[in-house]
A and B are shown apart, each in its own frame.
Chain A
Amino acid sequence: MHVVIIGMGAVGRDVAKVMQAERHDVVVIDNDPDVIDVVNERLDVATVVGHGANPKILQLAGVDQADLVVAATDNDEVNLVAAIASKQLGAGRTIARLHSGEYEDTMSEDEVEKGLHYGMLGIDVVVSPPILVADEMFQIARSHGALDVHLFAENRIELAEVELMENSPVIGIALKDLTLPKQTRVGAVVRGDEIFIPSGKDALASGDRAYLFGRTADMHEIEDLFCHGQEASRVVVYGGNVVGEVLSRRLSRAGVHVTLIAEDRTAAKKLAPGLAQVTVVHGDGTDIARLEEENVGNADLYFAVTDDDENNLMSGLLAKRLGCPRASCLVHRHSYQELYRTLGIDMVISPRQIAADHILQYARPPQVESIVRLGDGDAEVLEVTAAMGSPVTGKPLSKISMPAGVMIGGVLGPEGVHIPDGSSVIEPGDTVVVLALTKQRSYVEKLFQRSLF
């Protein structure tokens, strides 16, 4: 596949890195020659120095032949123009990354019904990191103590990441002897730096992080078993930006009491009219007295989502010190992610990684519906449609030889979703959620493609 990526920020670089490793032909455009030098040094891609919205530059990068164009600069307008121009020049699919809430508003469902959507401009997919982050944080708030939540198969299969505390009743018992709630199962385990798919003989240990599969409706049960969490009923959000706004609105609509702390008065004043059920205050989230005033210690969940990584970290740590059981931070710089966890932040969310994941799913063969990378990208969850005649279909799963490092987490068939066991049979056309170590990807692809014989 020929891919053109415009803008070598964190998202663009992440996408380029994964795509070149998957042996796609990648051409990248950036207007900073120094950035291009670094890319040349580290990635096996072709490079063009120039302004990404300039049609000449786009042509030079071969967008007319491109199957996919990703406009991921930090400037929304450049991204829009680049995506539109690429489409005009003959590109296949175009993806534009948009930060601003302004553009997001035209995306709401009512607007689409009125004929306002990006498709009319020739943009196939709009990836908006703030909205994606808000979505993910919302799912976390709704779960019973999960660190991270992903939804698959029309939102009917859920993957929840939980951390095992010392007092968890599942510790030390071999998985085959563990009685899990119906239609749930353990997908993968992160222990230290390593991610692995446990067999029946493996037992979980304190400090492990486990990925659990289940029907979305059944997840609270297994989450309760693993980590005794509670659905948040009182949440404090720190950050008067698009993420804070969208997250507060969604949570308040779901009946959660939300306090939104905006860094300055003007921002707070702008936000307040649109957030009827939310308590909007202004103040510094790194000021412990201010946090005490807002009674952060009594909140179930604390989100620090400002644009400043350090403020988010400090604010999150202060909230935990004040007694808030769980704190989540937004981190813009990839490399901080693990560090924040070590320091005691429960959930660290990187908008760039989420955006990159979202973009990457469009680089897969069409039968792959979505993809989420776990850990540092050592494992991934794929949502795949089983092709007619592919090796995975037609016989019970226990009869299919699967290497260690591949497991099937859920199936969406005509009769609805179920979490398969050894006797389950996958039918062609079923949507299957597969968790696999990244190095097994080619095997997974073969498993779901029609064989030649």
Chain B
Amino acid sequence: MIPANSKRARLSLVRMTARPLGLLLFVLAAFMALCAALGFLALPADGWDIASTQAGAHSMLTSAGITGVVGLIALIASLGVPFKIGRREALFVVSSIWIAMGVFGAIPYIIGAHMSWADAVFEAFSGVTTTGGTILTEIEGRLSAPLHLWRTMTHWIGGIGIVVLFVAMLPSLGVGGKRLFQSEAAGPDSGGLSPRIRDTAKVLWWIYLSFTVLEFFVLRVVGMPWFDAIAHAFSNMATGGFSTKNSSIGEYNSASIEVVMTLFMLVAGTNFALFHSAKTKGLSVFWKSHEFRVYMFLFTGITLVIATDLRFDMYESMGEAIRYAAFQVAAIMTGTGFATADFEEWSTLSRIMLLCLYFCGGMAGSTSGGMKLIRILIIAKAVVHEVRIGFRPALVAPVRVGEHAVAEGVVRATLVYALLFMGTVGLGAIAVACLDPVDITTAFMASLACVANVGPGMGAIGPTENYAFFSDSTKVVLSFCMLLGRLEFFSLLALFVPGFWRR
């Protein structure tokens, strides 16, 4: 039995959420309209069909209209409801905003590409959570230019986080903004860029926007067509993985494009706060960051191991081996999920190395997926710490990462996070296996690739395959896995704990 006052608390929570939801839908509608306009950058000279672009633009505008009207209704419904953000409210607002993004993000696919609702929802959640796994078998012909743009745009909106944009735009959220920000945050280390959360959010969006524009121009310079450059800049900086091409980046077969994208994937996986402090304190801040050093060490180390392995296995020269290995390592590690090679054909050693990278992710405070390196570091140090305690029980020492002592609460939260990550991957794999007749690799990798927000997996969902063959229910389960992974479990799971609804 639910007591009456808890029902009231639930109702006011829902009504209060209508305001940020309404605002979100307006923002989404604006982005949809932007896609309709930018779609015309897809030039016939690059093989795009003007008529289909026009039809696409039309369907994008229709979707924008629907989204905008629903947003307006939500805003009207929220009139007169006091807007005060405590811990509970922040969790609920952030979770519902993300669910709404996935649901409304699916509208253009249903209208513009006549997808089934499950396909559209999967594609939309894969977009906003920057996973990049697709249900499209034939990418180029199936979608019109504005829809291609929408796919990568959903990445871009979800990459740094829509709530961060809200906090940056809306004044007077105060400490409520901080709570919202933390509920969406990527990694345990967030904030500290500026004393006020609104300024922090603004700085993050500026860094994000600047790098996206920069990448767009650089891609253009190294020979990518206008339209593809925009789409890939969006997709890349968000560490998403949607491409406008069937064979992803491999389509261009251009070493310079691959180098540029590898670099920008690494940038997107770096803590954005470092770029901000580098502006005042110089480039040494990168090297001083323990996490950054581990990031670079892992990237170069694993690239070299895989390249050496591939050199004897597949490729003619070391240079070629490094080219493919580096791109793929960056793509998996940061959770982007682009592909230039079918890594399914690589040796077991190389694939195991990649598999480990699914878990790692990039740095905290970046757009990357996975568990984030700082967490891996904390867990590793906590393990060493426990072992030391085992033979010297009187030892009093904190868990340290670099110079910094990690608070016990943070260590505990990190361990719980890791358990949730593993648990979700495991349960997700079981669910997939229940719902679809797939082999063990496919079931496990589908779950892992979605929770870690990477995208392509191994087995039947490798870099050259896709998620289209799964049943509708599996697609919904995997969409939920992606959202859990993106919101780092706690925010979303709080809604399922009975105490959350009780006052």
Check A27–B195 contact: CB distance below 8 A: yes
- Residues 179-213 of B contacting A (Cβ, < 8 Å): 191-192, 194-199
Give min CB distance, A213 to chain B, whole Å.
Answer: 31
User: Which listed segment binds A: B14-22, B43-51, B170-178?
Assistant: B170-178
Give min CB distance, B177 to chain A, whole Å.
Answer: 7
Give min CB distance, A91 to chain B, whole Å.
Answer: 15
Give min CB distance, B151 to chain A, whole Å.
Answer: 36
A46 at the A/B interface (Cβ < 8 Å)?
yes
For A42, the chain B residues whose CB sits under 8 A away are 175
Check A44–B174 contact: CB distance below 8 A: yes
Check B194–A25 contact: CB distance below 8 A: yes
CB nearest to A28 among chain B residues: B195
CB nearest to A19 among chain B residues: B195
For B174, the chain A residues whose CB sits under 8 A away are 20-21, 44
For B177, the chain A residues whose CB sits under 8 A away are 44
Check A44–B178 contact: CB distance below 8 A: yes
Give min CB distance, A82 to chain B, whole Å.
Answer: 18
Check B175–A43 contact: CB distance below 8 A: yes
Give CA–CA (A26, B199) in the complex, Å.
Answer: 12
Give min CB distance, A60 to chain B, whole Å.
Answer: 11
A387 at the A/B interface (Cβ < 8 Å)?
no
CB nearest to A33 among chain B residues: B407
CB nearest to A26 among chain B residues: B195
Give min CB distance, B42 to chain A, whole Å.
Answer: 43
CB nearest to A42 among chain B residues: B175
Give CA–CA (A28, B178) in the complex, Å.
Answer: 16
Check B194–A44 contact: CB distance below 8 A: no
Check A23–B196 contact: CB distance below 8 A: yes
- Identify which of B175, B178, B195 contacts A25 (C-beta below 8 A): B195
Give CA–CA (A25, B197) in the complex, Å.
Answer: 10
- Residues 401-435 of B contacting A (Cβ, < 8 Å): 407
- Residues 328-368 of A contacting B (Cβ, < 8 Å): none
Give min CB distance, A196 to chain B, whole Å.
Answer: 21
CB nearest to A40 among chain B residues: B178
Q: Mark A14-53, 1 if CB is under 8 A from B, else 0.
A: 0000001101011100000100000000111110000000
For B175, the chain A residues whose CB sits under 8 A away are 20, 42-44
Give CA–CA (A23, B202) in the complex, Å.
Answer: 14
Give min CB distance, B423 to chain A, whole Å.
Answer: 28
Give min CB distance, B288 to chain A, whole Å.
Answer: 14
Give CA–CA (A44, B192) in the complex, Å.
Answer: 11
Q: Please tell me the size bucket of the interface on A.
A: 10 to 19
Q: Mark B427-446, 1 if CB is under 8 A from A, else 0.
A: 00000000000000000000
Q: Please tell me the size bucket of the interface on B.
A: 10 to 19
Give CA–CA (A27, B199) in the complex, Å.
Answer: 14
Give min CB distance, B194 to chain A, whole Å.
Answer: 7
For A44, the chain B residues whose CB sits under 8 A away are 174-175, 177-178, 195-198
CB nearest to A21 among chain B residues: B174
For B192, the chain A residues whose CB sits under 8 A away are 46
Instruction: State the main secondary structure of chain B at its contact with A.
Output: loop
Give CA–CA (A20, B196) in the complex, Å.
Answer: 8
Give CA–CA (A25, B192) in the complex, Å.
Answer: 12
Give min CB distance, A20 to chain B, whole Å.
Answer: 7
Give CA–CA (A226, B195) in the complex, Å.
Answer: 47
For A20, the chain B residues whose CB sits under 8 A away are 174-175, 196
Give CA–CA (A228, B46) in the complex, Å.
Answer: 91
Give CA–CA (A50, B177) in the complex, Å.
Answer: 26
Give min CB distance, A321 to chain B, whole Å.
Answer: 42
Give CA–CA (A189, B292) in the complex, Å.
Answer: 60
Give CA–CA (A185, B278) in the complex, Å.
Answer: 58
Q: Mark A268-304, 1 if CB is under 8 A from B, else 0.
A: 0000000000000000000000000000000000000
Give CA–CA (A25, B202) in the complex, Å.
Answer: 14
Give min CB distance, A5 to chain B, whole Å.
Answer: 11
- Residues 94-132 of B contacting A (Cβ, < 8 Å): none
Give CA–CA (A20, B198) in the complex, Å.
Answer: 11
For A23, the chain B residues whose CB sits under 8 A away are 171, 196
Give CA–CA (A33, B410) in the complex, Å.
Answer: 14
For B194, the chain A residues whose CB sits under 8 A away are 25, 46
For B191, the chain A residues whose CB sits under 8 A away are 46
Give CA–CA (A20, B172) in the complex, Å.
Answer: 10
CB nearest to B171 among chain A residues: A23
Counting chain A CB atoms within 10 Å of each CB, the highest count among B175, B191, B407 belongs to B175
For B195, the chain A residues whose CB sits under 8 A away are 2, 25-27, 44-46
Give min CB distance, A62 to chain B, whole Å.
Answer: 9
Give CA–CA (A44, B179) in the complex, Å.
Answer: 9
Give CA–CA (A448, B400) in the complex, Å.
Answer: 54
For A26, the chain B residues whose CB sits under 8 A away are 195-196
For B198, the chain A residues whose CB sits under 8 A away are 44
Give CA–CA (A43, B197) in the complex, Å.
Answer: 10
Give CA–CA (A237, B249) in the complex, Å.
Answer: 84
Q: Mark B373-417, 1 if CB is under 8 A from A, else 0.
A: 000000000000000000000000000000000010000000000
Give min CB distance, A45 to chain B, whole Å.
Answer: 6
For A25, the chain B residues whose CB sits under 8 A away are 194-196, 199
CB nearest to A39 among chain B residues: B175
Q: Mark A145-178, 1 if CB is under 8 A from B, else 0.
A: 0000000000000000000000000000000000
For A27, the chain B residues whose CB sits under 8 A away are 195
Give CA–CA (A36, B424) in the complex, Å.
Answer: 33
Give CA–CA (A114, B178) in the complex, Å.
Answer: 50
For B197, the chain A residues whose CB sits under 8 A away are 44
- Residues 186-240 of A contacting B (Cβ, < 8 Å): none
Give CA–CA (A25, B193) in the complex, Å.
Answer: 11
Give CA–CA (A46, B171) in the complex, Å.
Answer: 18
For B407, the chain A residues whose CB sits under 8 A away are 33
Give CA–CA (A25, B203) in the complex, Å.
Answer: 14
CB nearest to B192 among chain A residues: A46
For A21, the chain B residues whose CB sits under 8 A away are 174
Give CA–CA (A21, B174) in the complex, Å.
Answer: 7
Give CA–CA (A13, B196) in the complex, Å.
Answer: 16
Give CA–CA (A25, B177) in the complex, Å.
Answer: 15
CB nearest to A37 among chain B residues: B409
For B196, the chain A residues whose CB sits under 8 A away are 20, 23, 25-26, 44-45
Give CA–CA (A166, B178) in the complex, Å.
Answer: 49
Give CA–CA (A42, B175) in the complex, Å.
Answer: 6
Give CA–CA (A45, B196) in the complex, Å.
Answer: 6
Q: Mark B130-172, 1 if CB is under 8 A from A, else 0.
A: 0000000000000000000000000000000000000000010
Counting chain A CB atoms within 10 Å of each CB, the highest count among B171, B195, B407 belongs to B195
For B199, the chain A residues whose CB sits under 8 A away are 25
Give min CB distance, A179 to chain B, whole Å.
Answer: 43
Give min CB distance, B227 to chain A, whole Å.
Answer: 41
CB nearest to B409 among chain A residues: A37
CB nearest to B200 among chain A residues: A46
Give CA–CA (A44, B177) in the complex, Å.
Answer: 8
- Residues 84-137 of A contacting B (Cβ, < 8 Å): none
Give CA–CA (A2, B198) in the complex, Å.
Answer: 15
Give min CB distance, A66 to chain B, whole Å.
Answer: 11
For A33, the chain B residues whose CB sits under 8 A away are 407
Give CA–CA (A2, B196) in the complex, Å.
Answer: 10
Give CA–CA (A2, B195) in the complex, Å.
Answer: 9
Give CA–CA (A23, B171) in the complex, Å.
Answer: 9
Give CA–CA (A27, B407) in the complex, Å.
Answer: 21
Give CA–CA (A46, B178) in the complex, Å.
Answer: 11
Give CA–CA (A233, B162) in the complex, Å.
Answer: 67
Extra pairs beyond A44-B198, A45-B196, A46-B195 (20, CB < 8 Å): A2-B195, A20-B174, A20-B175, A20-B196, A21-B174, A23-B171, A23-B196, A25-B194, A25-B196, A26-B196, A27-B195, A42-B175, A43-B175, A44-B175, A44-B178, A44-B195, A44-B196, A44-B197, A46-B191, A46-B194
Give 6 A-B contacts (CB < 8 Å), ordered by A residue: A2-B195, A21-B174, A27-B195, A44-B196, A44-B198, A46-B194
A residues with CB within 8 A of B: 2, 20-21, 23, 25-27, 33, 42-46
> Which 3 A-B pairs give the minimum distances between C-beta atoms?
A46-B195, A25-B195, A44-B175
B residues with CB within 8 A of A: 171, 174-175, 177-178, 191-192, 194-199, 407
